[in-house]
Structure 1
Amino acid sequence: MYINITTSETGDNKGSCGALVNYLEKENRDKKSLDRHEKWFNGNSNGIRPHEVRIGIDNNIAKLGKEDSKFFLINISPSQKELAHLISQYGEEGAKERLKEFAIGVMDEYAKNFKRDTIRDHRDLLWFGKLENYRYYGYNDKEVKNGTKQRGERKEGQQLHLQIIVSRKDITNRIKLSPQNTSRGKNASHSAKLGQFDRTAFKQSGETLFDEIFGFERGLKERMDYANTMKNGTAKQKAQLHAVSALAERYPQLQTSHLTDSFMKDINTEKHSDVGGLLSSIAGGAWGLFEMLLEPAFDASGGQQTVASEEERKRRRRKKNQGMKR
């Protein structure tokens, strides 16, 4: 699940949202009949017209200056595997409607992330969503760069995704709400007073919500916290995750959501001092997998050695670069 917040696909969110609304109408311009147009939606209606979106957002800017952001764009893009899961359950048209319902839940999480007493769910926000059926190759795509695809050509496979325009101001046009505010206070209560928005927590909540609503069993390597740990974690966290990943490939029963939640929490809080401690905890749990540690083919230290050696190579490169700069 890919969830991202940007200023605007048209590159400007400090003025009218008209250009963005017009851009997001691109698929409708290829449909001659108005009945076939994909309408805008929110928590109250599924038949909102483009001009209503523009007027609603553009008029909700009380006390915002010329250089202040007036709105934000939230992109919700399920993976091919997630879309296949939805379509197998509900059919293509049914999947579209369920994605719109899912978007309402995502906007509930967006509202909660501001941690304001008066901003509780999507009804406290001014927002409009649009479902899109296709994605197109851009100049940054490797296929365009190597000449195998043309810019503007449709991408293959299921590409259903959602675009949501949300006002900077709340539904009452009184409170400023910015997902760009990542200021951290002295503690949790001080951060809430500053209006801090935790983007990582928001994206994680969308992934968790999808799994809960649609009964999607997410593999370990498909999890957002897996990618974050592999990218930003400590050497010890990466070593433990590498070892668990190798183990999970051999024992698929480890890849159920409640089990992965448990050992991902242990890894991220560094509950265990080394790989062996983590694996012993897994083997000694209620999962009946003690025999895995007895198999000679499984090397519990391999992940730690791999990650440690990679960290050592990075350290040497940094040292070499520093020497060259001197």
Structure 2
Amino acid sequence: MYFSISAQSLGGHFSQSVSDFVAYLEKENQGIALEEREYFFNQYGDAYSTQQVIKDIDSNTAKLKKNEPKFYSIIVSPSKRELKQLQNSSKALKRYTRELMKDYVTAFNREINGNPVTINDIKYYAKIEHTRHFKGTDKQVMENQPFASKILKLKQDIRKIERGTLEGSIKKHKRTIAKLEHSAPHRQNGKRIVQGMRKDGNQSHIHIIVSRKDASNSVSLSPGSKYKASDVMIDGKLVKRGFDRDSFFSKAEQTFDKTFAYKRNYAESYVAKKDFIKNPKFYFSTLLGLPTHERALAFKILGKAGVPLASIPTNQVQLALKTIRILKRGIDIAIKSGSIGI
């Protein structure tokens, strides 16, 4: 499971309205039948129009300055292994979204009218998407790039030969292009992976737009707060503040496991991510200490994420810092891309 929380982009050419982001999330609905479309939903309903979403979010911004985000974007990306656990991706992910947003509100160290924040105190809209496309920062695209550059140069040379501004054999160039296409390290359905290509398989994920202000449009609730969770004296009054992302991510993972009876492997857990970041040696020690079948599954998960398995230590003696440094880069990339779900 991969989570990200980001504030509305402001400044430059970015709009103060949520309309551009809503339009972006509507891209999958273009050109498909009405009964097959995914609609915005929240804790109250299943089919909100884009106009309703824009109106509700844009009008819920009382006293916010121009340079302050009006909404936050939460992206929840289950791993392929997690998605296999779901019988119906859309229905199950909607159910999960409603549960994880309950975890979201409990992560606030705030009070509204003297009471903890509840699910009815927030204004949010979510949408399920089922496709993803390769980005320029994806490992497959980056490692294919040297081949792409050579292919582009050869195609440019072919056009020059056809125009008579360059001498050379078009057939020879085309044979070289074919060899490069075949030699590229990452392919999908026989084709070289390039930026913009649609990814195969179940790519279902969740986009959530959550208003910065509470449902009454009077209290600011920022998941981007630099304060984790604390009480502070302001004008002689004790005030609660902060949002605990660590608590939110942990609870959201536990909610998924409980909701869908999912048996999570250590290698794909949130606690593993924290172990890896804080103490890589402890992380690998824990991997080696797993029961045989759990360790085998952990290595399989890491292998599918592109981590070099040949470099993973197989015993405590091999847990040298040099080995860990070699592995850290590969696992860092896998974590950031969400490919191992942690």
Scaled by the length of structure 1, the TM-score of the pair is 0.70
Paired with 1:253 and 1:79, the residues of 2 have a C-alpha distance of 18
Flag the 1:184–1:143 CA change in 2: closer, same or farther, 3 A.
closer
- Give the structure 2 partner of residue 246 of structure 1: 288
Please report the RMSD computed on the Cα atoms of aligned residues, expressed in angstroms.
2.9
Q: CA deviation at 1:302?
A: 2.8
Task: Look up the SS of the partner of 1:143 in the other structure.
Answer: helix
Alignment-derived partner of residue 24 in structure 1: 25
| Corresponding residue number in structure 2 for 1:135 | 132
2:75 aligned with 1:61: no
Distance 2:214 2:252 in 1: 21
Aligned to 2:80: 80
Match of 2:98 in 1: 104
Structure 1 163/10 Cα, relative in aligned 2: closer, same or farther at 3 Å?
Answer: farther
Structure 1 residue 103: Cα displacement:
0.5
Shift of 1:105: 1.2
Distance in 1 of aligned mates of 2:320 and 2:130: 42
- 1:83/1:156 Cα in 2 relative to 1: closer, same or farther (>3 Å)? same
CA deviation after TM superposition for structure 1 residue 9, in Å:
7.9
Q: Which residue of 1 aligns with 2:266?
A: 220
Whole-Å separation in 2 of the counterparts to 1:166 and 1:135: 22
Corresponding letter in the other structure for 1:54: I
Larger RCO of the pair (alpha carbons < 8 Å, separation 6+): 2
> Counterpart amino acid of 1:65?
K
Number of equivalent positions: 255
Q: Which residue of 2 aligns with 1:204?
A: 250
Q: Which letter does structure 1 place at the counterpart of 2:104?
A: Y
Deviation at 1:121?
Answer: 2.9
Tell me which amino acid in the other structure corresponds to 2:121.
Answer: D
Q: Distance in 1 between matches of 2:73 and 2:226?
A: 17
Alignment of 1:87-166 (within 5 A): 90=87, 94-118=88-112, 119-145=116-142, 146=144, 147=148, 148-166=192-210
Supply the distance in 1 between the matched residues of 2:224 and 2:50 (Cα, whole angstroms). 26
User: Residues 306 and 42 (structure 1 numbering): CA distance in 2 closer, same or farther, change over 3 Å?
Assistant: same
Distance 1:310 1:166, change over 3 A: closer
Cα distance, 1:101 vs. partner? 1.1
CA distance in 2, matches of 1:310, 1:142: 20
Q: For residues 164 and 56 of structure 1, what CA distance do their matches in structure 2 show?
A: 14
Change (3 A) 1:7 1:18: same
Aligned to 1:323: none
Deviations 1:106-135 (A, max 9, x none): 111111111223353322100000010101
Q: Which amino acid aligns with 2:81?
A: K
Task: Pick closer, same or farther for the CA change 1:74–1:13 going to 2, 3 Å.
Answer: farther
- Name stretches of at least 5 consecutive residues in structure 1 with no aligned partner: 256-297, 315-326
CA distance in 2, matches of 1:129, 1:177: 18
8 Å CA contact 1:71–1:167 kept in 2: the answer is yes
Deviation at 1:213, TM superposition (A): 0.9
Aligned pair partner of 1:182 in 207, 211, 226: 226
Q: Given that residues 74 and 208 in structure 2 are in contact (C-alpha distance below 8 angstroms), is that contact kept between their aligned partners in structure 1?
A: yes
CA drift of 1:184 comes to 5.2
Q: C-alpha displacement at 1:310, in angstroms?
A: 5.3
Spell out, residue by residue over 1:230-274, the C-alpha distance to the aligned partner (whole angstroms, 9 max, x if none): 1223xxxx444422311215264999xxxxxxxxxxxxxxxxxxx
Equivalents in 2 of 1:310, 1:104: separation in Å?
A: 39
Identical amino acids, percent of aligned pairs: 30
CA distance, structure 2, for counterparts of residue 129 and residue 206 of structure 1: 16
Q: 1:106 to 1:10 in 2, by over 3 A?
A: farther
**Counterpart amino acid of residue 71 in structure 1:** F
Query: Cα distance, 1:3 vs. partner?
Result: 1.0
**1:218 and 1:85 mapped to 2: Cα distance?**
11
Instruction: Give distance in 1, aligned partners of 2:322 and 2:193.
Output: 40
CA distance in 2, matches of 1:38, 1:184: 34
- What secondary structure, in the 3-state scheme, does the structure 1 residue paired with 2:252 have? helix
Distance 1:184 1:103, change over 3 A: closer
Unaligned runs of 5+ in 2: 149-191, 298-313, 329-342
Give the TM-score normalised by the residue count of structure 2: 0.67
CA contact (8 A) 1:2 1:78 kept: yes
